Amino acid sequence: MEEYLNKLNESQREAVEYNEGPSLVIAGAGSGKTRVLTYKIAYLVHLGLAPQSILALTFTNKAAREMKERIAAITGDQTARRLWMGTFHSIFSRILRYEAEHIGYPSNFTIYDTTDSKSLLKAIIKEMQLDDKVYRLGMVQSRISNAKNALVTWKAYEQSKELMQHDIDSKVPLLREIYKRYQNRCQQAGAMDFDDLLLQTNILFRDHPQVLEKYRSFFQFVLVDEYQDTNFAQHLIVQRLCEQHRRICVVGDDAQSIYSFRGANIDNILQFKNQYPGCRIFKLERNYRSTQNIVNAANSLIHKNKEQIHKNVYSEKEEGSKVRISASYSDYEEGYAVASAINELRLRKDYDYVDFAILYRTNAQSRILEEALRKRGIPYKIYGGLSFYQRKEIKDIISYLRLIVNPHDEEAFKRVINYPSRGIGDTTVGKVISAATDNNVSLWTVLNAPVDYALPINSGTAKKLTDFREMIERFIEQNTRLSAEEMAAIVVKESGIVSSLFQDRSVEGISKQENLQELLKGIAEFCELRREEGVEQVSLADFLSEVSLLTDQDNDKDEQANKVTMMTVHAAKGLEFKNVFVVGLEEELFPSSMSKDNPRAVEEERRLFYVAITRAEEHCYLSFAKTRFRYGKMEFGIGHHGEPGINVQDLKPAKDIARQMAKAVIDDMEPEEGSEVAVLMSGLGATPVMELYVLYDEVEAYLEEQGLSVYKVFIGDYVTSLDMNGAALTVLKLDDELKELLDHEAKSPGIEV
């Protein structure tokens, strides 16, 4: 063990070796916190602590996997496997499966992902005949999620006068009813959503002290990674587990607390020393990632925050290039500047594309940047796109597997009952749902006894439902004796999925077939891995438990590809790149307009910016645009190149735009009444000719009102601009010489007279 401890710097080693009470490790960006956590766990095992009595909680499966691999390299595979190490959700779903009966759930409960939750909420809003523009799906889901993370059950929600009043003021008085129905339907379906995994664990520990005592005694030491990102529910679980033995070590960086929008509370880390009196604080201040100039820039920024645990981060790497700040006229220009800088750096320093990342505040900013990279032939990947397990064909197969493990799963039932098509339409499914809702039972229960629930269907439909039920029952029976990979192969074949997918020979169809094969391969690999760990019969339930808790970060097939990475700053946390571009640093964008009047929110925006800067190892570029085109906005002014007078304003109807253009040009020209003019209406390469004629008709009418006569007209793409969409108007005041020149025969490229 000593040889590993010798690899640590002084402050890292102190943090690893101190185990006499609660400790807080403040780990600055790039300070080697993963190494400290890894070595600390290995050190605890070295001191004689049983690996199964160590609980280590992370926020991503990827972080848990990396740490486990590092620990295995020190202690051996057998020891590492016995650790209770994983995400909050994976660890507590495991505990809930053991203890499910205490809280009225089956041990084979399904875990609903965000898509499943939204689908169920959408169905409930529709059933209640509510206006989905008022009861917006995203808002409803967010409010229920926030309530659960604050440990407010639907019963507590109903009894809270404050919450009721808030809903009335927000014009959504029936939100409590939606929450109640949603939770009841989840329970009927034997399903929990992500938030339930934390809420139900808290309820389990609160209402069953013997269960809490069991896990308190079992876990002799608790470690938490990224403690600044914990919400109230996570914080309370950890507190309950540790409040007696106080053998706890949390690692984090208050300067990187950026998830308040999903319930994270920075006070958890700021107040930790008050929560655990006698707590030792260790500060990891040496940055191993970035050059001194990048570290200095990040320090000068974060020091402006009032709410923080002060530390002095330093780097012993070379001074490095200065952080560059560049201004662009428009967001288009900013995109091209970034693309050019990437190409320039690659030529100068021999970097690969994978060494570059572009970070932005919102996903909407990616479009213009993508366009700029494409035109420069720069390959890129967008982080946070549709993950493998969210693709339709994969979700369809997974839903079959879920239904086999838990036939009461409502969302899985609805998804597969008519896939592949077996003539069971939406009307029939609606009748099954109504019968189930009216009788407070699951859809599967109704399907098993349609007569008992007076299902109003004809004999043909009844036969189709029976065939489907018998197929699922056959799968359920086979599942008792077959492994996950055997079951998956049978399901895709006998359900008709294979023949349905392989009939489609389009490019999209072939891609779906490849995804199906990739899934079967993934299940086989999962089974093989578990067998290596000593599990003889790997069940579907095991596979589904694993897969239901995967995140986008865990399925990045593109990870090794040589491409520029594009992502939001939030998604970039925990990652590092040699060269980082942070774009869109403008008031109301970054920092966000939502932080304007809230000092705490401004501090979080500053922390977010700190995270962005500290992702860079060698070069950091910061940029902003003086004008930015946003949805529902247009740029208007004289000139193509950002001349003074260009401004951003609300989008208007074509008639008003045409008149505004004509007025601006004529006011600038000041022609005498009765003058003859030539008019050029150009599409800049991006506007259909038909639309240009619509604009021109209005321009002509305006010119006539001003007493001007149109002698000649040119309509088309005569002037083009790579970074603009829209139209340009040019008016030329004529004399006899100019008229003669305009009438002269011309056969130049692009124009023929």
Catalytic residue set: 33-34, 225-226, 256, 615
Cα–Cα dist 483/530, whole Å: 11
Q: Do the beta carbons of residue 725 and residue 682 sit within 8 Å? A: no
Q: Which two tokens stand for residue 253?
A: 């960086």
Complete DSSP assignment for 120-142: HHHHHHHHTT--TTTS-HHHHHH
Total residue count of the chain as it appears in this document: 753
- Cα separation values, 645 from 65, 641, 732, Å: 55, 11, 20
Beta bridge partners of 636: 647
Cα–Cα dist 678/742, whole Å: 9
Q: Do the beta carbons of residue 234 and residue 271 sit within 8 Å? A: no
Nearest Cα residue to 150 out of 89, 241, 234: 234
Q: Which two tokens stand for residue 676?
A: 């003859």
Q: Is 460 exposed, middle or buried (0-12, 13-18, 19+ CB in 10 A)?
A: exposed
Q: Is 302 exposed, middle or buried (0-12, 13-18, 19+ CB in 10 A)?
A: buried
Strands 54-58 and 23-27: unpaired
Rounded to 5 degrees, φ, ψ at 123 are -65, -40
Q: Is 255 exposed, middle or buried (0-12, 13-18, 19+ CB in 10 A)?
A: buried
Cα–Cα dist 493/517, whole Å: 12
Q: Do the beta carbons of residue 584 and residue 625 sit within 8 Å? A: yes
Name residue, tokens 């594309």: 353
Q: Tally Cβ neighbours within 10 Å of residue 586.
A: 17
Nearest Cα residue to 609 out of 297, 265, 269, 227: 297
Q: Do the beta carbons of residue 182 and residue 199 sit within 8 Å? A: no
Q: Do the beta carbons of residue 689 and residue 716 sit within 8 Å? A: yes
Cα–Cα dist 270/67, whole Å: 25
